[in-house]
Structure 1
Amino acid sequence: MNFANARVEAHNIWPAKTSFKAEEMFIRRLSEIKDKELFKPISIAQNSNADYQRCVGHLLDALDQVPHRPDYAFDNFFRIIDIAASPWFSRRGIKGIVQGTSSRLFTADSTSWEQIIDSLCLAMPLRTYELLAKRLLAAALTQEGENDPLYKRALHAFGPKFYPAFVRKYALDKSGNLCPNIAETNRGNAASLLKLYMSGKAGTRSKPASDPALDLTKKENLGSPNQRSEVLLSLLLFTIRNERAHGNVLSPFRTSKSTLERYESYYFIMLLSYIYALGVLSLRFQCISPKNILNGCTENIQAQKAFFS
């Protein structure tokens, strides 16, 4: 299939419905497990506050996009994070929200949120880790380099040692120069290292690490639950939000690279944004307990695993 021509043709014949390869695969999968739920909303309390009701409106708009467009649902869930958390970071804007919200969540209930973050990091598909690795390496390769906004947020989230060492390991050629081809070749290995870092559990290795900061057999090099939460919110979700808001990416399910794995990745990204949206609402409006968010998060992770396995 020539996807470039197909996208133009889909526009020209609208309102006739056109389905692309990945969309057809997803529809078939939905029909195979009619008795299974792919996404389960987590109950929240009543509240007539105007801001709360605006956020609930976005929750409903997001649910209208399920099951076929988890990327659109993500857009609405992220708007809730922005709306509900803005009063806490009025002078720092959305950057303050994505860098500071995790600390507020952990202050409210560190036990529940540590379990939530552990569960999410463990469940995150490798393809999503690959996306994160690709964006982190690309930030170091831009013309802005260390002034790139994502590069700066990565230093804030990971700390000043891990991220530069990560870039040196996976984006430098033999001459010590930053190289896009090297970064692309190393993306899988970079994703595997990120997965270990985000697990919060020390690994084992027979050979010394290439850099002391990347030695994840040492607990001090692993991210704290708060750091790992900031990685999810500031480096992954906020980056995706920016790319989609600025129109820098193709429709994710209408390209030659789209597969069920891409749906799995976007469903997980959608779930991440939903959990953080509920977390912010719980702090602002006491509409749901962190423990109930944890229970709902666990249920949704299991539903996604059952669907995509």
Structure 2
Amino acid sequence: MQKINCFSSMRVEYYNNWIEPKTDSKTLKFPAEILYAERLELLKTSTFEPQKFEESEDPETHMIVSYLMDTIDSLPGRPDLAFEKLWSAINYFLGFLNTQNSWSIRREHKLLDKVTNEFWCDLIDEEKQPDLALSFLKLMNLIPKQSGEYLVRRLFEDVTRSTIINQSADHQLNIQKRVKDALGNSLYNELSKKYLESKSRIKKNGELYGEKSANYLVGQLFCKILRGDIVTLSGKTYQLNIRQQIRLALNGYLYTYRNERFHGSVFSSTFRSSKANLNTYAHSFYMFHISYILLMVLVVKLLPVGVSFQDISKNLNNNFEKFNTIFESQIYK
């Protein structure tokens, strides 16, 4: 029994006292990695600080702490792998809640919808948890430009010409359905129409150029929409409320990113690609931060970690400031 207590204490202590390792641009070889390391060295900042937990013998707590230890061990160099560990922790919670509440839900996306309704949309609420809601809205306002374009490409690019690995019509239809559920049919259809119009208008310079330009233009619209800005399309105004923002962030961005990473549809060495740059890091870190806030909501609600939603909000805001400082030029303004 003493041995179990010792290891329980060691895990929490490791997580609570973790100090992010320094980057060294001189030891790296790939351009994006060097650029990123030089940025961190110039700013003399870390990318992330974990929320400290109280020690506990609770088995569910230690399952989550084990995922979080692997998460922080992936930073600062691999935010994409850190995201995967956070999603694994979220997935553990999905199974835990499914069993604990006797929901008997077999499909993951259905289970995700259930938890979204009963936990995330219920708790990230401006009246129930104003500090938490404000933190979430701060994060929505930090969306990188590449994240806007990322979703546009998955939604609207011609799959027969797409450079996205394993992109198929069925895969694209699933993404379109999830985003349509988040936005509503009217706004989704307006965005689809805007994409086709933009692509057609610039097509005179070549098919590929027209597609890239449409990705950029409609990507900017998606940034505004996720931020909760008012957008006007075909003379009609649209603005997402916080529940819709949660759904778009989760069902549009995170679940798409998750599926591609877990199903082998991305280049694994993300930051060692010829296309990688600071935008690539910004997008991966943004997916990481959205996952982190969703996971922490479940941690505070369900686990005996001695942390309040106010504590989490302070930790989130601190990490978002780091993100804003590092990726100031990559964030949509």
Matched, 1:293 2:300: no
Matched, 1:192 2:220: yes
Matched, 1:106 2:121: yes
8 A contact 1:62–1:73 mirrored in 2: yes
RMSD of aligned residue pairs (Cα, Å): 2.8
1:131 match: 150
When normalised by structure 1's length, the TM-score is: 0.80
1:276 match: 294
2:6 match: none
Q: Deviations over 1:128-149 (max 9, x none)?
A: 1111222222499876469821
State the AA in 2 paired with 1:290.
F
CA distance in 2, matches of 1:298, 1:45: 21
Shift of 1:165: 2.1
1:245 match: 262
State the AA in 2 paired with 1:151.
Q
Matching of residues 85-124 of structure 1 within 5 Å: 85-86=94-95, 87-88=97-98, 90-103=104-117, 104-108=119-123, 110-111=125-126, 112=130, 113-124=132-143
Larger displacement relative to structure 2 (92-101 or 118-127): 92-101
CA distance in 2, matches of 1:28, 1:145: 41
1:14 match: none
CA distance in 2, matches of 1:22, 1:140: 28
1:80 match: 89
2:190 match: 165
Matched, 1:228 2:245: yes
Q: Which runs of 5+ in 2 are unaligned?
A: 1-26, 161-166, 202-206, 329-333
Which of the numbers 47, 51, 60 marks the counterpart of 2:69?
Answer: 60
> How many residues get paired?
278
State the AA in 1 paired with 2:286.
F
Shift of 1:67: 0.8
Larger displacement relative to structure 2 (142-151 or 38-47): 142-151
CA distance in 2, matches of 1:298, 1:139: 38
Name the % identity.
Answer: 22
1:5 match: none
Q: Deviations over 1:228-260 (max 9, x none)?
A: 111111110111111011111112101111112
Using CA pairs below 8 Å that are at least 6 residues apart, which structure has the higher relative contact order? Answer: 1
Residues 60 and 115 of structure 1: is their aligned pair in 2 closer, same or farther, counting only changes over 3 Å?
Answer: same
Shift of 1:293: 2.3
Shift of 1:286: 5.3
8 A contact 2:40–2:46 mirrored in 1: no
CA distance in 2, matches of 1:272, 1:46: 26
Larger displacement relative to structure 2 (180-189 or 133-142): 133-142
8 A contact 2:178–2:252 mirrored in 1: yes
CA distance in 2, matches of 1:225, 1:165: 21
CA distance in 1, matches of 2:255, 2:280: 18
Matched, 1:211 2:231: no
Q: Deviations over 1:266-294 (max 9, x none)?
A: 12221111111111222222533322222
CA distance in 2, matches of 1:253, 1:147: 25
CA distance in 2, matches of 1:154, 1:299: 30
State the AA in 2 paired with 1:163.
Y
8 A contact 1:157–1:231 mirrored in 2: yes
CA distance in 1, matches of 2:275, 2:317: 29
Larger displacement relative to structure 2 (59-68 or 81-90): 81-90
When normalised by structure 2's length, the TM-score is: 0.74
